[in-house]
Structure 1
Amino acid sequence: MKKYFGLVALVLISFIMQSTVLQFLQIFGVTINLVLVVLVVISLQTNEVTGAGLGFILGFLTDILYSQFFGVNSLLFFCIGYLAGRISEDVYKFDYFTNLYFVLFGTLFYHIFFYFIHYFLKIGSEAILITLTPILIEVVLNLIILYPIFRLEKSIFKKLKIN
Structure 2
Amino acid sequence: MKRFLVYLSEILILFVIQTSTFHYFGLADIMPNLLLILVVSSAYMRGRMTGLGIGFFTGLLVDIVYGELIGLYAFIYMILGYFIGFTNKIYSNDDYTLPIVFVAVSDFVFGFYNYIFDFLLRGRLNLLFYFRRIILPEMIYTVAISVLLYKLLHTINNRLERKMNEEE
TM category, shorter: 0.7 to 0.9
1:34 corresponds to which residue? 34
TM-score, normalising length: structure 1 = 0.87
CA drift at 1:98: 0.9
CA drift at 1:108: 0.6
2:128 corresponds to which residue? 129
Give the number of aligned pairs: 161
Cα separation, 2, equivalents of 1:146 and 1:135? 16
Q: Which has the higher helix share?
A: 2
1:63 aligns with 2:75: no
1:5 corresponds to which residue? 5
CA drift at 1:3: 4.1
Higher relative CO (Cα under 8 Å, sequence separation at least 6) belongs to 1
Q: 1:66 to 1:128 in 2, by over 3 A?
A: farther
Q: Give the match's secondary structure for 2:88.
A: helix
Q: Give the match's secondary structure for 2:122.
A: coil
Cα separation, 2, equivalents of 1:16 and 1:88? 28
CA drift at 1:126: 3.3
Report matched runs for 1:10-21 at 5 Å.
10-21=10-21
Structure 1 gap segments, 5+ residues each: none
**Contact 2:44-2:91 at 8 Å conserved across structures:** no
1:45 corresponds to which residue? 45
1:24 corresponds to which residue? 24
TM-score, normalising length: structure 2 = 0.85
Identity %: 25
- RMSD over aligned CA atoms reads 2.0
Q: Give the match's secondary structure for 1:114.
A: helix
Q: Give the match's secondary structure for 2:25.
A: coil
Structure 2 gap segments, 5+ residues each: none
**Contact 1:46-1:85 at 8 Å conserved across structures:** yes
Cα separation, 2, equivalents of 1:116 and 1:63? 17
Q: Give the match's secondary structure for 1:68.
A: coil
